[in-house]
């Protein structure tokens, strides 16, 4: 059995891969913090020979540069890639050796033009699996609309047609018993309807994945692939450019970030510079008390994605407020999506701030049953900050939808002269929204604890459930 390990990171629904044979190893699509890969190879007494990239990633900053610098590994991209650093640009069908294993390059443009899949062949010459990047997911395929945000002429229609042929000419002819090892699972914004499963056989995907239906014509494929696509997260193009152009070493980023600041020092830095105070504690803790003007994006949710959505300047200086012991994790998870400008953190966390008697703010919260009682007595504006697809699937009658990721474009729709009630699916996003509203001067609102999940347990009238056609 071929020695391959999937290294899965749930917060960004990302899968890297480690293979090793006879003291040689390769890493596919590494994350920014590379030490875990180095440690894994060391455990096998193996040398990392190659860092294979399936494409220039949009949803995270890859660790290829740091990993190559620290191990001497060769960075490999597929055909047409033009990175601004030293790398081996492979040709289609080129072979690489890792011990007695063979890796075959399959150029599979569509998600991006340089997108490449890697066929894994074991020591006996048997084809074992395919590392498919963002070309083929479990239950889905990669969205073809990202590259146009970096190169305008690469329209989503053109890329969708490339993807159609890549799947049919390169992937579908392969053996049904191959294991598919994709770059992402459910929760990633790189596809519409990804499965929670993170591997599958290619044969099962041929039977169940809509995009591999052999009866689809090219035009039909394009139509179904583009249906329901929403704008990608705003930070995606910035991450692509960092992956193409290179970036500062994570070691340097961390050295700058690890500056413990007392409450008085923290306050001074916050007041004297154009800095964002980011609080990464859980939503419930944040709501009970926080530093005025801070934004909450909790580590316990889709942290990286919401950082990328809500903090538009990737070079924004950031001061951190975290749970004790979560300082370094917060810094690393920011750097995964290219936010490298953390300049310090509050020593002792929020409690240290509160103990000094400095000003704090709160967000008022009510339970779903309280909401039910309140709406029985009077009409109150309900604002649902879930995604459009979630709202259209099912929502409270009379609620309006302002998706979380569009809040900055729709601030005028939040009234200042009347109270309103916020909710999302479970309470994570509505507190992000609440923190932004507080920062911008809104005070007359409450948040529903547990969000729509709790609201559904009440008798409040809801629209009829409609199965969503996309999870974007």
Summarize pLDDT for 220-274 with one digit per residue, the tens.
Answer: 999 999 988 888 888 899 999 999 999 999 999 999 999 999 999 999 999 988 9
Looking at residue 103, its pLDDT comes to: 98
CA distance linking residue 406 with residue 385, whole number of Å: 9
Note whether 248-355 and 366-427+442-455 share their fold: yes
d(CA 21, CA 95) in angstroms, rounded, equals 16
pLDDT(20) > 80: yes
pLDDT of residue 233: 82
What is the domain partition of the chain in residue ranges? 4-239, 248-355, 366-427+442-455
- The answer to whether 416 and 444 have CB atoms below 8 angstroms apart is yes
* Among the listed residues 342, 405, 335, the one whose alpha carbon sits nearest the alpha carbon of residue 66: 335
Tokens 């953190």 correspond to 345
Q: How far apart are CA 228 and CA 332, in angstroms?
A: 32
| Residue tagged 């000003």 (tokens) | 359
- Residue-level pLDDT at 192: 76
Q: Is residue 11's pLDDT more than 90?
A: no
Distance (Å, whole) CA 306 – CA 439: 17
Mean pLDDT across 203-229: 95
Instruction: Give mean pLDDT, residues 393-414.
Output: 95
Asked if the model's pLDDT at residue 51 lies above 90, the reply is yes
Cα 338 from Cα 239, distance rounded (Å): 6
The number of helices, as runs of H, and strands, as runs of E, in the chain is 16, 22
User: What's the CA gap between 364 and 382, in Å, rounded?
Assistant: 15
- Phi, psi (degrees; rounded to nearest 5) at 460: -60, 135
pLDDT of amino acid 12: 87
Tokens linked to 103: 């890796």
pLDDT for position 435: 98
Q: Does domain 248-355 have CATH number 3.40.120.10?
A: no
Q: What is the DSSP letter of 181?
A: E
What's the pLDDT score for residue 92? Answer: 98
Average pLDDT over residues 360-374: 97
State the pLDDT at residue 231: 81
126: left (phi over 0), alpha (psi -120 to 50) or beta: beta
At 240 the three-state DSSP class reads helix
Rounded CA separation 122/135 (Å): 22
Candidate CATH numbers 3.40.50.150, 3.60.15.10, 3.10.20.30, 3.40.50.620; the one for domain 4-239? 3.60.15.10
Q: Are the C-beta atoms of residues 63 and 30 closer than 8 Å to each other?
A: yes
Q: Cα dist. 286→129, 306, 435, 470 in Å? A: 45, 16, 9, 31
Q: What radius of gyration do the chain's Cα atoms show?
A: 24
334 contacts: CB under 8 Å, gap ≥ 6 = 278, 304, 307, 318, 340, 342
- What string of DSSP letters covers 321-350? E--TT-HHHHHHHHHTTT---EEEEETTHH
pLDDT tens, position by position, 69-98: 999 999 999 999 999 999 999 999 999 999
In CATH terms, the fold of domain 366-427+442-455 is Oxidized Rhodanese; domain 1 (3.40.250)
**144-185 tens-digit pLDDT:** 988 776 777 889 999 999 999 999 999 999 999 999 999 998
**pLDDT (0 to 100) of residue 10:** 85
Q: What is the mean pLDDT of residues 12-35?
A: 96
């Amino acid at each position: 059995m071929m020695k391959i390990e999937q290294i899965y990171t749930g917060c960004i629904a990302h899968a890297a891969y480690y293979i090793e044979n006879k003291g040689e190893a390769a890493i596919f699509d590494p994350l920014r913090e590379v030490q875990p890969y180095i440690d894994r190879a060391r455990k096998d007494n193996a040398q990392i020979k190659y860092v294979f990239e399936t494409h220039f990633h949009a949803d995270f900053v890859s660790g290829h540069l740091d990993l190559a610098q620290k191990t001497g590994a060769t960075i490999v991209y597929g055909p047409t890639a033009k990175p601004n650093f030293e790398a081996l640009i492979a040709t289609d069908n080129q072979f690489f050796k890792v011990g007695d294993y063979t890796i075959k390059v399959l150029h599979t443009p569509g998600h991006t033009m340089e997108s490449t899949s890697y066929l894994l062949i074991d020591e006996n010459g048997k084809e074992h699996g395919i590392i498919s990047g963002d070309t083929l997911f479990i239950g889905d395929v990669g969205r073809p609309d990202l590259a146009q945000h970096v190169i305008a002429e690469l329209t989503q229609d053109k890329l969708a047609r490339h993807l159609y042929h890549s799947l049919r000419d390169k992937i579908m002819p392969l053996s049904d018993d191959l294991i598919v090892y994709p770059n992402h699972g459910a929760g990633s914004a790189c596809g519409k309807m990804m499965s929670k499963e993170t591997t599958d056989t290619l044969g099962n995907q041929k039977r169940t994945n809509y995009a591999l239906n052999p009866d689809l014509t090219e035009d039909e494929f394009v139509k179904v692939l583009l249906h329901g696509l929403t704008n990608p997260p705003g930070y995606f193009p910035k991450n692509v450019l960092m992956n193409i152009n290179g970036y500062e070493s994570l070691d340097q980023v961390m050295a700058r970030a690890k500056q413990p600041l007392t409450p008085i020092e923290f306050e001074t830095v916050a007041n004297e510079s154009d800095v964002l105070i980011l609080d990464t504690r859980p939503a419930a803790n944040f709501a009970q008390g926080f530093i005025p003007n801070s934004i909450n994006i909790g580590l316990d949710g889709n942290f990286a994605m919401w950082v990328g959505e809500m903090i538009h300047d990737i070079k924004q200086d950031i001061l951190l407020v975290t749970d004790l012991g979560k300082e370094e994790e917060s810094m690393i998870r920011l750097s995964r999506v290219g936010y490298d400008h953390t300049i310090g953190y509050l020593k002792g966390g929020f409690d240290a701030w509160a103990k000094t008697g400095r000003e704090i703010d709160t967000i008022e919260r009510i339970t779903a049953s309280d909401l039910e009682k309140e709406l029985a007595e009077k009409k109150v504006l309900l604002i649902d900050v879930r995604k459009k697809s979630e709202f259209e699937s099912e929502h409270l009658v009379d609620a309006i939808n302002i998706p979380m990721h569009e809040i900055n474009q729709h601030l005028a729709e939040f009234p200042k002269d009347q109270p309103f009630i916020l909710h999302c699916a479970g309470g994570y996003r509505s507190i992000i929204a609440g923190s932004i509203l507080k920062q911008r001067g809104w005070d007359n609102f409450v948040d529903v604890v547990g969000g729509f999940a709790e609201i559904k347990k009440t008798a409040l009238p809801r629209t009829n459930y409609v199965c969503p056609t996309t999870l974007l």
